[in-house]
Amino acid sequence: MGLYTYHSIYLASQSPRRQELLKQIGVQFEMLTAEPHEDTETLEIPIPHEKAHDYVKRVTLAKSTIALDRWTKSKRPWAPILCADTTVSLPSSIAGEILGKPIDTADAVRILEMLSGKVHEVLTAVVLLVEPNSQPLYVVQVSQVAFSHLSSEQIATYIASGEPFGKAGAYGIQGLGGAFIPTITGSYSGIMGLPIFEVSQLLDHAKVARI
């Protein structure tokens, strides 16, 4: 196989944004998504007093363990397995240490009001299982995102669009939420959910081909 050991990977995520970013850097992949009986939501419940960095690393490593078991049961040929998880943190606020996906409209309002006019962090952990029995490779990428001051009307209109739901921090930088962000420091793709520079380094280490 020349310079490469693998010509594709498994992506253990249903996120369309992560799929788009992998395609952007020429990575061939197959989906390795959760089975109906798997309770992945429970993994995302923070442990009391858990810091955002520890949280996102723990959740992603746990997801990789589940994904490996999923691959084992599938009896499909081996390829490296990529997992990722993203969270938003307002480190200056105890209540905002970990801001996950809003559970309802009121929760989305709470989160967006906390972020309004402040700089917060977006943390994305990436785990790559190179071999079934090898130690996972992982990285946690952290970016800083500035939010403009949001009025109650802006928040209500944004929530009515439906975009905040299913997204950590109740917003998507690649969508309507991008209009609230004057500056970022870090990785735009990491804020979207998959830091392509760090992912590329992991894939190169694992000798995964790219188009």
What's the confidence (pLDDT) of residue 93?
84
- Residue 190 token pair: 């990491």
Looking at residue 198, its pLDDT comes to 97
Q: Which helix (H) or strand (E) holds 142?
A: strand 137-146
Residues near 209 by beta carbon (within 8 Å), at least 6 away in sequence? 3, 4, 6, 7, 8, 28
Q: Which residues participate in catalysis according to the annotation?
A: 85
Q: What is the pLDDT of residue 42?
A: 83
Query: What is the spatial distance between Cα 29 and Cα 188, in angstroms, rounded to a whole number?
Result: 22
The residues facing 139 across adjacent strands are: 126
Three-class SS of residue 84?
strand
Reported as a single tens digit per residue, the pLDDT across 187-207 is 999 999 999 999 999 999 999
Instruction: Tell me the CA distances in angstroms from 31 to 14, 67, 120, one per residue in order.
Output: 8, 11, 31
Beta carbons within 10 angstroms of residue 28's beta carbon: 15
What CA–CA distance (Å, rounded) separates 166 from 14? 11
* pLDDT for position 39: 73
What pLDDT was estimated at residue 2?
A: 60
User: Which one is the CATH code of 9-205: 3.40.50.720, 1.20.1090.10, 3.40.1030.10, 3.90.950.10?
Assistant: 3.90.950.10
Instruction: Please tell me the predicted confidence (pLDDT) of residue 110.
Output: 97
pLDDT along the chain (211 residues), means of 10: 85 94 96 79 88 96 95 95 96 88 96 97 98 95 98 97 96 95 97 97 95 82
